[in-house]
């Protein structure tokens, strides 16, 4: 019986791209999780330098639940001050500046008298607080706030430092605006949801503080934060931008990484239970079609399936070819991985971009009305993630169905020892099928839709926000599908008595059996699914098998069995 590994293999299902490298400032700009002196919490520290932070910063901010300490670098503060001063100089020149001394959208030709400029910004925020639907999760809202800080810190938005400082204090002190999830078409930025954020800055709206939803003014007061009186362009800079759609897409990316890592571990266990052949995963075969994701997935599978009794038994198997759901794991999951990589690159760029309008160019002292607020890159990234989630779940459901089919897998029908009297996994596969079909329906590209708004001024929109918002539910569905396959794979392995797998997969198998007993006889299976899904959602199965979504593609030995 293989022993427990002393060093767990760290296999990366979704390796860090070049966009993740430290290239802006020294290590102080990195997000660090540091244990507090009392050992009771971790502080997430982040320095915004005015250039793109590595995506690992945003991942840690989203995943970690401890206190936050965000700060602005000296360079970024200088850029913000310079941009704010330029706003005032341009305003004093008397030239029309969109959204500063003019109206908005189709009302841009209306000049605003100087005494009404502050009122204009306040009215802009309040008039756009029209979001509906369930509010965004706290983890996403924290990302939205930090991303808005990063965008303003580029020094092209014309806001005063106090605006950035107030946003930072809201994150650091735990004042999280209540942001309804619906109401943005992802075109002129996420106007409605960002207006709900901006409303709290001026003492309006609602916010979560100390675990309760409170009026915005009360939440600020309890946190010791002074509400703002918005200056020229500041309301426009706050409501304009892609920070909500980007935060939702980043959250979807991070959840997809976890799903991908789990799918690798569970898929490998299904190969074992089915006595599937590993020959199709060989390096020589894969090198004939060298898509990056395909090569990496095949490499991981070779490492997970490099030894054990199942390997020996599979060589004596009677199947000439395995079904696609087993044989084509590198091709399908690899293609999904390539989509995830592309989405990660896009979102890393977007997270550090200036996406409001107009933008101020400090070097030439220009203010330009442009279109950086359009969410098309985010919409495409979200659509790619949706397709990947749908495919991962759909293929997982097929592996479950295969394991349950006695004529194909050679295992007992529906993985029960007394079929007829007991139904075994029959109904579990129905649930997996339902969830897979639901994800297929949701994976229709949002970016191909458009509907004109604002009197046809905003006549071609991206739909990035709801395209990204669906990803959380899709990831939940994919997790549940994988949880069902995990139960089936472990049950199938158990139906081949005396057989052991490789160390990584045996560790994952032991983890499952520590939470869920054998399901050979019927009992209340919802308890088993709940327990298995908890392991999947927390990444415990992938971790037990040595697969990590956030690190480079490595193993403890560094070797790749070929």
Is the model's pLDDT at 562 over the cut of 70?
A: no
Of the candidate ranges 34-38, 131-135, 168-172, the one whose mean pLDDT is the lowest: 34-38
Region 397-421 average pLDDT? 86
Interval 365-374: pLDDT, tens = 888 889 999 9
Sheet with strand 206-209: strands edge to edge: 176-177, 206-209, 212-215
Instruction: Say what the pLDDT of residue 148 is.
Output: 97
Of the pLDDT bands very low, low, confident and very high (cuts 50, 70, 90), residue 552 is: very low
Quick count: other Cβ atoms within 10 Å of Cβ 65? 12
CB 95 within 8 A of CB 208: no
Interval 9-49: pLDDT, tens = 333 333 323 333 333 333 223 323 332 333 455 888 999 98
Instruction: Say what the pLDDT of residue 212 is.
Output: 97
CA atoms 520, 521, 526, 530: torsion sign: negative
Q: What is the pTM of this model?
A: 0.89
Interval 484-495: pLDDT, tens = 999 999 999 999
Sheet with strand 42-48: strands edge to edge: 32-35, 42-48, 68-72
Is the model's pLDDT at 559 over the cut of 60?
A: no
Interval 335-354: pLDDT, tens = 999 999 999 999 999 999 99
Of the candidate ranges 171-180, 522-531, 545-554, the one whose mean pLDDT is the lowest: 545-554
* SS3 state at 71: strand
CB 511 within 8 A of CB 489: no
What whole-number distance in Å separates Cα of residue 65 and Cα of residue 138? 10
What whole-number distance in Å separates Cα of residue 144 and Cα of residue 378? 14
Interval 470-484: pLDDT, tens = 999 999 999 999 999
| Opening angle at CA 143, ends 142 and 145, nearest 5 | 65
DSSP state of 419: B
Q: Does residue 324 have an active-site annotation? A: no
| Nearest partner of 356 among 139, 208, 543, 147, judged by Cα | 147
Region 505-522 average pLDDT? 91
Of the candidate ranges 182-191, 350-359, 441-450, 515-524, the one whose mean pLDDT is the lowest: 515-524
Instruction: Say what the pLDDT of residue 511 is.
Output: 97
Interval 285-323: pLDDT, tens = 999 999 999 999 999 999 999 998 887 777 766 667 899
Region 508-519 average pLDDT? 94
Interval 80-101: pLDDT, tens = 999 999 988 888 887 777 777 7
Give me the long-range contacts of 403-406 (CB less than 8 A, separation at least 24): 403/270, 403/273, 403/274, 403/485, 403/488, 403/489, 403/492, 404/429, 404/488
CB 198 within 8 A of CB 238: yes
Give the residue, 112 or 59, on which the prediction is more confident. Answer: 59
Instruction: Say what the pLDDT of residue 93 is.
Output: 80
Partners of residue 111 on adjacent β-strands? 102
Is the model's pLDDT at 7 over the cut of 50?
A: no
The backbone torsions φ and ψ at residue 375, rounded to the nearest 5 degrees and listed phi first, read -90, 20
Of the candidate ranges 4-8, 183-187, 279-283, the one whose mean pLDDT is the lowest: 4-8
CA distances from 387 to 107, 256, 329 (A): 39, 11, 16
Instruction: Say what the pLDDT of residue 529 is.
Output: 95
What whole-number distance in Å separates Cα of residue 421 and Cα of residue 340? 44
CB 183 within 8 A of CB 135: no
CB 284 within 8 A of CB 292: no
Region 224-245 average pLDDT? 95
Neighbouring residues of 481: CB distance < 8 A, sequence distance ≥ 6: 393, 396, 397, 400, 432, 435, 436
| Highest mean pLDDT out of 97-101, 110-114, 228-232, 420-424 | 228-232
Is the model's pLDDT at 53 over the cut of 80?
A: yes
- Indicate which residue of 24, 63, 69, 98 is catalytic: 98
Burial class (CB in 10 A: 0-12, 13-18, 19+), 377: buried
Lookup: tokens for 514: 């520590």
Is the model's pLDDT at 50 over the cut of 80?
A: no
Q: How many CA within 13 A on the CB side of residue 296? A: 23
| Nearest partner of 446 among 392, 388, 381, judged by Cα | 381
């Amino acid at each position: 019986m293989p022993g427990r590994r002393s060093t767990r293999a760290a296999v990366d299902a979704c390796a860090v791209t070049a966009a993740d490298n430290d290239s802006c400032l020294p290590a102080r700009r990195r997000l660090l999780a540091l244990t507090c002196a009392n050992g009771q919490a971790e502080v997430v520290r982040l320095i915004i330098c005015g250039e793109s932070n590595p995506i690992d910063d945003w991942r840690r901010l989203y995943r970690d639940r401890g206190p936050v300490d965000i700060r602005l670098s000296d360079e970024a503060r200088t850029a913000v001050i310079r941009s704010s001063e330029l706003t005032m100089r341009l305003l004093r020149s008397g030239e029309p500046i969109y959204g500063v001394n003019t109206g908005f959208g189709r009302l841009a030709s209306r000049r605003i008298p100087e005494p009404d400029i502050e009122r204009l910004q306040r009215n802009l925020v309040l008039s756009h607080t029209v979001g509906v639907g369930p509010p965004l999760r706290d983890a996403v809202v924290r990302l939205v706030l930090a991303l808005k800080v990063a965008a303003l810190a580029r020094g092209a938005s014309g806001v005063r430092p106090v605006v950035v400082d107030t946003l930072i204090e809201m994150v650091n002190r735990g004042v999280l605006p209540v942001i309804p999830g619906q109401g943005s078409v992802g075109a002129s930025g996420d106007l409605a949801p960002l207006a709900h954020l901006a409303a709290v800055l001026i003492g309006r709206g609602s916010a979560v503080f100390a675990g309760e939803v409170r009026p915005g003014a009360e939440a600020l007061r309890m946190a010791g934060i002074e509400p703002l009186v918005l200056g020229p362009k500041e309301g426009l800079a706050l409501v304009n931008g892609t920070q909500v759609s980007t935060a939702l897409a980043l959250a979807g990316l991070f959840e997809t990484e976890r799903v991908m890592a789990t799918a690798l571990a569970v898929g490998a266990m299904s190969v074992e239970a089915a006595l599937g052949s590993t020959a199709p995963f060989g390096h020589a075969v894969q090198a004939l079609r060298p898509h990056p994701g395909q090569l990496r997935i095949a490499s991981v599978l070779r490492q997970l399936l490099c030894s054990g009794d199942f390997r020996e038994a599979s060589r004596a198997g009677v199947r000439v070819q395995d079904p696609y759901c087993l044989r084509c794991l590198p091709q399908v999951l690899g293609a999904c991985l390539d989509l995830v990589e592309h989405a990660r690159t896009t979102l890393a760029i977007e997270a550090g971009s200036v996406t409001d309008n107009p933008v101020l160019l400090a070097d030439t002292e220009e203010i330009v009305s442009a279109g950086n607020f359009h969410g098309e890159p985010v919409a495409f990234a979200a659509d790619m993630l949706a397709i990947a989630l749908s495919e991962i779940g759909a293929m997982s459901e097929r592996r479950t169905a295969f394991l349950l089919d006695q004529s194909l897998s050679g295992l007992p029908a529906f993985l029960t020892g007394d079929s007829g009297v007991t139904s075994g996994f029959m109904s579990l596969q129905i649930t997996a099928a339902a969830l897979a079909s639901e994800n297929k329906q949701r994976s229709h590209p949002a970016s191909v839709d458009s509907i004109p708004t604002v009197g046809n001024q905003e006549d071609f929109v991206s739909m990035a926000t709801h395209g990204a918002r669906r990803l959380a539910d899709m990831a939940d569905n994919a997790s549940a599908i994988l949880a069902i396959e995990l139960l089936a794979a472990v049950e199938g392995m158990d139906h081949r008595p005396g057989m052991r797998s490789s160390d990584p997969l045996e560790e994952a198998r032991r983890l499952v059996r520590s939470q869920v007993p054998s399901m050979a006889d019927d009992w209340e299976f919802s308890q088993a699914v709940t327990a298995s899904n908890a392991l999947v959602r927390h990444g415990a199965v992938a971790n037990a098998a040595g697969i990590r979504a956030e690190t480079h593609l490595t193993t403890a030995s560094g070797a790749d069995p070929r």
